[in-house]
């Protein structure tokens, strides 16, 4: 078990033409489960590979426990990595796959190794498969074996690189719960990489959001959801995504108006809004963010509302998503029982407490 500390970690490829990871600082507590999330190409795998020792940082330091491992070879780091494609040895049995790492990384006797493998196989519910070869296994079974192979070593640190991407949705959900249970039971520090914000939000004690190799925000999932620091995080976390509107603020800072004059929308902020939120709103353009679940849909013609036409009604169980013709796209989440159809004209309103405002140019949250 160990805490992990990453300081100014940087990785350039192709003599600096690609900056995959850009001066990343991270502190991971002993026993913590941290999810790292971001779009494809944002540097997640590179970060994990540097933690594992499979990739050499261009600069920066990595500490695992008390040890600076920046220059320590992968096989001398007490780290186990689980990959998306399982990476099992095809000619070895499940037992041999699991025992192999143990033989390489510990000085247990053959009997002790066998006992550990069997015990872990029981924990992973794969004891029936120990004599099978990987190509006799289903995708879900292979992933259990890959997990078992990581667990059996009792490493200081678990690294997961999108381990569930190749599984179907139902299996993914049950494996998520299982990975969390095992990590919790063993108390091993874990860094779990995924491009799936839902997975990151539901699994992580803490979520770390990357974009373009750069740390955007880290924190508890609910804090990041409620207080995104910029437009990127606001749009990335939550599904369907937050709606964004280009607005202009008037000289008193009291009124927001869609920048597109055809929008015909005015939203009056209450007196003292700027003071309460400790911001000074200049007469300038901003990006207004509002989540689909915070939009109320009423009859057309309400005051302080956007008038819009419904393009699509998308039923999702107890809710429906209304796709509306505001800007490029605007989504409102409503009760599935509501009687609305494509073509209907409606009014969209929201509480100012649910409104996010971002700097129009930098995307930074302004309060």
Select the span of 10-18, 87-95, 116-124, 249-257 touching ligand ADP (CB under 6 A).
10-18
**Is position 45 an interface residue for Mg ion (rule: CB under 5 A)?**
yes
- What is d(CA 180, CA 236) in angstroms, rounded to the nearest whole number? 23
In angstroms, the CA 94 to CA 345 distance is: 61
Say whether 225 sits in a helix, a strand or coil.
Answer: helix
Nearer to ligand ADP, 8 or 174 (CB): 8
Closer to ligand ADP by Cβ: residue 43 or 148:
43
When CB distances are held under 5 to 8 angstroms depending on the partner's kind, the choice from ligand ADP, Mg ion, none that residue 20 binds is: ligand ADP
| Residue 44 binding ligand ADP, by CB under 6 A | yes
CB of 18 to ligand ADP, least distance (A): 5
Instruction: Kindly tell me which of 38 and 228 has the beta carbon lying closer to ligand ADP.
Output: 38
Q: In whole angstroms, how close is the CB of 306 to Mg ion at the nearest point? A: 39
| Residues in Cβ contact with 294 at an 8 Å cutoff, skipping those fewer than 6 apart | 350, 351, 354
Q: Which does 43 bind (CB under 5 to 8 A by kind): Mg ion, ligand ADP, none?
A: ligand ADP
Q: Cβ closer to ligand ADP: 18 or 338?
A: 18
Regarding 46 and contact with Mg ion (CB under 5 A), the answer is no
Report residue 75: phi and psi, to 5°: -75, -15
Distance, in Å, from the CA atom of 154 to the CA atom of 232, rounded to the nearest integer, reads 37
Residue 365: how many CB atoms within 10 A of its CB? 20
What is d(CA 88, CA 155) in angstroms, rounded to the nearest whole number? 18
Name the minimum Å distance from CB 48 to ligand ADP. 8
Closer CB to ligand ADP, 162 or 231, in the complex = 162
**How far apart are CB 299 and Mg ion at their closest, in Å?**
48
For residues 124 and 151, is the Cβ–Cβ distance under 8 A? Answer: yes
Q: Shortest gap between Cβ of 256 and ligand ADP (angstroms)?
A: 35
Taking the complex as a whole, the smallest distance from the CB of residue 90 to ligand ADP amounts, in Å, to 24
Q: Which two tokens stand for residue 183?
A: 């990590």
* CA dihedral of residues 328, 255, 356, 302 (deg, nearest 10): -60
Partners of residue 348 on adjacent β-strands: 297, 306
How many residues touch ligand ADP (CB under 6 A)? 12
Query: Is 46 among the residues that bind ligand ADP (CB under 6 A)?
Result: yes
Interacting partner of 297 out of ligand ADP, Mg ion, none (Cβ under 5 to 8 A depending on kind): none
Are the beta carbons of 312 and 342 closer than 8 angstroms? yes
Strand 157-161 versus strand 189-194 pairing type: parallel
| 321/309 Cα distance (integer angstroms) | 13
Burial class of residue 33 in the structure, from the number of CB atoms within 10 Å of its CB (0-12 exposed, 13-18 middle, 19+ buried): buried
Count CA within 13 A, CB hemisphere, residue 29: 9
Residues of span 11-40 touching ligand ADP by CB under 6 A? 13-14, 18, 20, 38, 40
- Residues 42 and 210: beta-carbon distance below 8 Å: yes
Query: Which of 9, 42, 50, 331 lies at the binding interface for ligand ADP (CB under 6 A)?
Result: 42
Choose between 21 and 306: whose C-beta lies nearer to Mg ion. Answer: 21
Nearer to ligand ADP, 43 or 155 (CB): 43
Interface residue with ligand ADP, options 1, 12, 27, 41 (CB under 6 A): 41
- Rounded to a whole number of angstroms, the minimum distance from the CB of residue 322 to Mg ion is 34
Q: What is the CA radius of gyration of the chain?
A: 25
Footprint of Mg ion (CB under 5 A): 44-45
Footprint of ligand ADP (CB under 6 A): 13-14, 18, 20, 38, 40-46
């Amino acid at each position: 078990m160990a805490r992990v500390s990453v300081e100014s970690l940087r990785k350039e490829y192709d003599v600096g033409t690609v900056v995959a990871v850009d001066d990343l600082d991270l502190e991971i507590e002993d026993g913590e489960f941290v999810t790292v999330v971001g779009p494809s190409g944002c540097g997640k795998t590179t970060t994990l590979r540097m933690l594992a020792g499979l990739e050499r940082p261009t600069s920066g330091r990595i500490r695992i426990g008390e040890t600076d491992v920046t220059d320590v070879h992968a096989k001398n780091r007490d780290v186990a990595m689980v990959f998306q494609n399982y990476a099992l040895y095809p000619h070895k049995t499940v037992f041999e796959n699991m025992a192999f790492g143990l033989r390489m990384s510990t000085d247990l006797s053959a009997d002790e190794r066998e006992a550990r493998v069997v015990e872990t196989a029981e924990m992973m519910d794969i004891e029936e498969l120990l004599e099978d070869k990987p190509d006799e296994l289903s995708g879900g079974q292979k992933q259990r074996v890959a997990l078992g192979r990581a667990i059996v070593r009792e490493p200081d640190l678990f690294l997961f690189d999108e381990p569930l991407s190749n599984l179907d949705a139902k299996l993914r959900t049950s494996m998520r719960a299982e990975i969390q249970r095992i990590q919790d039971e063993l108390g091993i520090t874990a860094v779990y990489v995924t491009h799936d914000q839902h997975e990151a939000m539901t699994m992580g004690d803490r979520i770390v959001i990357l974009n373009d190799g750069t740390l955007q925000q880290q924190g508890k999932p609910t804090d990041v959801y409620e207080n995104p620091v910029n437009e990127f995080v606001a749009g990335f976390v939550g599904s369907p995504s937050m709606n964004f509107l280009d607005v202009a603020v008037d000289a008193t800072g009291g009124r927001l108006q869609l920048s597109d004059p055809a929008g015909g929308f005015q939203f009056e902020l209450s007196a003292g809004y700027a003071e309460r939120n400790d911001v000074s709103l200049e007469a300038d353009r901003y990006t207004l963010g509002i989540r689909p679940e915070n939009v109320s849909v009423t009859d057309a013609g309400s005051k302080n509302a956007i008038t819009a036409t419904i393009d699509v009604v998308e039923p999702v169980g107890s809710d429906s998503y209304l796709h509306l013709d505001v800007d490029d796209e605007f989504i409102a989440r409503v009760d599935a029982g509501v009687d609305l159809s494509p073509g209907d004209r409606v009014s969209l309103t929201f509480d100012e407490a649910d409104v996010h405002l971002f700097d129009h140019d930098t995307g930074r949250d302004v309060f």
